[in-house]
Amino acid sequence: MFTIGKASEKSGVNIETIRYYEREGVVPKPGRSAGRRRQYSCDDIAKLRFVRRCRDLGFPISIIQTFLSLTTQSDRSCGEVKTMAENHLAEISAKIENLMRLQEALLSLSKNCDDGTAACPMLDALMKDGFGDGLHEQSSR
């Protein structure tokens, strides 16, 4: 059995994040010692590592909870996991496209800026009605 500090060290998950995951029901609350200290098993630490890896890939907590529930099922469906992963990948691809549009817009605007002039074309363009409306719609998705 390990303390929360050791569990944090072994799993790579911050202590406060471990407590958050416990409050939110992402991972089960661990047993307690006679002194009421949290005690983590190797299985608890493995679950924390699993959650950390999923978070590193950008999966939301709700999907991670589903993944964790599937790990305990003997008849778990790889197809279900694949579908969730593909949906997440599509969201990431959309975010990348949006970021690339933002990058292009900022490059275009900043290219018009000239050091030392009193008027700033970038600020003028940003003040115009209608500038980047299509871009705004994309970034608010």
Mean pLDDT score of the chain, rounded to an integer? 85
CB-count exposure of residue 72 (10 Å: 0-12, 13-18, 19+):
exposed
One-letter amino acid of 9: E
113 has a pLDDT exceeding 80: no
The rounded Cα 58 to chain-centroid distance in angstroms is: 4
Same domain, 8 and 55: yes
Same domain, 16 and 52: yes
Measured between alpha carbons, how far is 19 from 24 in angstroms, rounded to an integer?
A: 9
* Chosen domain end from 13, 39, 71: 71
- The DSSP call for residue 128 is S
- Residue 113, sorted as left (phi over 0), alpha (psi -120 to 50) or beta, turns out to be beta
Q: Give alpha helix (H) positions in the chain.
A: 4-11, 15-24, 42-56, 61-71, 78-111, 121-127, 133-139
pLDDT at position 80, please?
86
Whether 44 is covered by a domain: the verdict is: yes
Whether 88 is covered by a domain: the verdict is: no
pLDDT in tens, 60-104: 999 999 998 888 877 777 888 899 999 999 999 999 999 999 998
131 has a pLDDT exceeding 60: no
- Phi, psi (5° rounding) for residue 88? -65, -40
Average pLDDT rounded to a whole number, residues 36-46: 92
Same domain, 55 and 99: no
Whether 47 is covered by a domain: the verdict is: yes
pLDDT at position 141, please?
46
Whether 82 is covered by a domain: the verdict is: no
Whether 79 is covered by a domain: the verdict is: no
Same domain, 44 and 11: yes
Whether 77 is covered by a domain: the verdict is: no
Whether 11 is covered by a domain: the verdict is: yes
Q: Model confidence at 119, in pLDDT bands (50, 70, 90)?
A: confident
135 has a pLDDT exceeding 60: no
pTM value?
Answer: 0.70
Same domain, 45 and 102: no
* Chosen domain end from 37, 71, 105: 71
* Selected residue with higher pLDDT from 111 and 130: 111
pLDDT at position 91, please?
95
pLDDT at position 136, please?
53
The angle subtended at Cα 123 by Cα 121 and Cα 128, nearest 5°, is 95
Structural domain containing residue 100: 93-139
The number of distinct structural domains making up the chain is 2
Same domain, 50 and 109: no
Same domain, 63 and 121: no
Task: Write the CATH number for 48.
Answer: 1.10.1660.10
Under 8 Å between Cβ of 50 and 89: no
